[in-house]
Structure 1
């Protein structure tokens, strides 16, 4: 039983080798007829910031108000007479304080403070997706989409298989050991071949008859 299983396995391997020998891969080139760049629009968030200078004056220290109050109070005291002297002094202190504070504020140096304001905007960008390529190969016209510009020629993976190629059958189990069933191979004869064209690095192709 073991010898029979080994013999069947050898036959299956021989059939698989014959099948692989019947298939051939070759790299050919198609002639590019036209190519069109394909773009997609993508919205990108962008932060826009503007810097402006804010001009202001320095805050008064209070010295002007104090000096003004003293001057105004003294003047009111001199002007007032009798019972109205106290009132005149108070009015002078108040008026002098306000006047002195304003004088100091107007004479204070200016202060420049940079202020930055920002906001979000949506910017639309065009991004390259690929190239729609139309090419000729072996008298036929095909189309595909490629990730990059192929230039004047596009490389193709061409698979050549005999028309009477043997299809390997499904495995058959014998006594717990899985082997491949024997394959009957037809006598070799000159047969037409089928050609399959694939760019290999695009998003598929389409064949125009």
Structure 2
């Protein structure tokens, strides 16, 4: 029984640490974006709207880990065919709970920025709020771009 509790604790910790996602703010880069040329434009923030960036719900980490944890917990109940049923029910319930935990853990506060570029063109960019610091209308900013992907920094 103690081994099951330890394993359940380890798997739960793995679930929560696996839910961390790369930052979606202006100063965060994926490995694929490093050393890639980007265009640089300057502009002024016209408006800022707080938004919520939905968390991941593909279930790869959350549902998988939750199913394992739930299955282990269910396996500790009863015996024979009752134990098998409890294991299956535990795995399904754990998978659903794990998926919800993953989505909640990866939901982020974002901001939709409407920007008037110095060229006169107006663009909108949504990105994660970096350390609780929102851009404000009138801020002079840089817009970095590569293809259709843009990021805003000071």
Give the TM bin, normalised by the shorter chain. Answer: 0.3 to 0.5
Greater strand share, structure number: 1
Greater helix share, structure number: 2
The two structures have a TM-score, normalised by structure 2, of 0.37
The two structures have a TM-score, normalised by structure 1, of 0.28
